Amino acid sequence: MVRRRKVNNMLGLAVLAALAERPMHPYEMAAVLRERGKDEDMPIKWGTLYTVVRNLEKYGFITVSESVRDGSHPERTIYQITREGRVEFADWVRDLLAEPQREQPKFMAALSVWQVLGPEEAMRLLRQRLTLLDAEVADRRTTLMGYAGDLPRIFLVESEYGLAMREAEAAWIRSLLDELTTGSFPDLGAWREWYETGRLPSEVRSPTERGEQSD
């Protein structure tokens, strides 16, 4: 039902997950997340972490369990999850799992305006992206293999998903590039002409011109 959550930031989910295990102070949460490599896909912003923790407390999802002065170090505030917090946590995960929530992908935004670059440059950039993507895929596949022996599968599906999506994107780009290089992509000539001369060949009408009112 995707109802807007009190605490919306994804870091909040990570905090709840960490506290579901055992009480911790914020800095420790960050350390735990980093240790498990979660920060690769979701870098921990300090400001956000403390804001999120404060808000989770405000809404009763977590409470202060104790405030320790460790002799040295500044005072650390240790938080624990509440019953409401556990409910919210599970509920949140449920929503995220069941509802495909599209966050606007930047690449898609770029593709919606890629005509401003000429076909040659677009192809060059796509090739560059593909190279980087392939490297990422190889890298992730290796680390995944490395973990595969140590960790139960259930902790790996996340990485498997990330890998699968990257592979899918790479495959898509590959096929687009293929069309562009073999020339089987229609309107390539028109695109090039428009880009070089600034004028559209008569056989192609862009949606821009269609949409334009003559006022």
Partner DNA sequence: CACCTCCTACTCGTAGACGAGTATACGTAT
Partner DNA sequence: ATACGTATACTCGTCTACGAGTAGGAGGTG
Residues 76-105 that bind DNA (CB under 7 A): 76-77
Shortest reach from residue 71's CB to its own copies, in Å? 14
Q: How far apart are CA 30 and CA 41, in angstroms?
A: 14
Contact predicate 15/68, CB 8 Å:
no
**Residue 73 within binding range of DNA, rule CB under 7 A:** yes
Tokens 């102070």 map to which residue? 25
The one segment of 23-31, 117-125, 149-157, 207-215 that binds DNA by CB under 7 A: 23-31
Q: If you search the block for the tokens 């170090």, which residue do you land on?
A: 73
Q: Is 31 one of the binding residues for DNA (CB under 7 A)?
A: yes
Are 7 and 53 in contact by the 8 Å Cβ rule? The answer is no
Name which of 35 and 209 has its Cβ closer to DNA: 35
**Residues shown for the chain:** 215
The partner in contact with residue 25, picked from its own copies, DNA, none with C-beta cut-offs of 5 to 8 angstroms by kind, is DNA
Nearest approach in angstroms of CB 78 to its own copies is 13
Which amino acid, residue 176? L
Sole window of 68-76, 92-100, 159-167, 180-188 interacting with DNA (rule: CB under 7 A): 68-76
CA–CA gap between residue 67 and residue 170 (Å, rounded):
49
- Cα separation, 48 vs 44, in Å, equals 8
Binding site for DNA (CB under 7 A): 6-9, 11, 25-28, 31, 45-48, 50-52, 55, 70-77
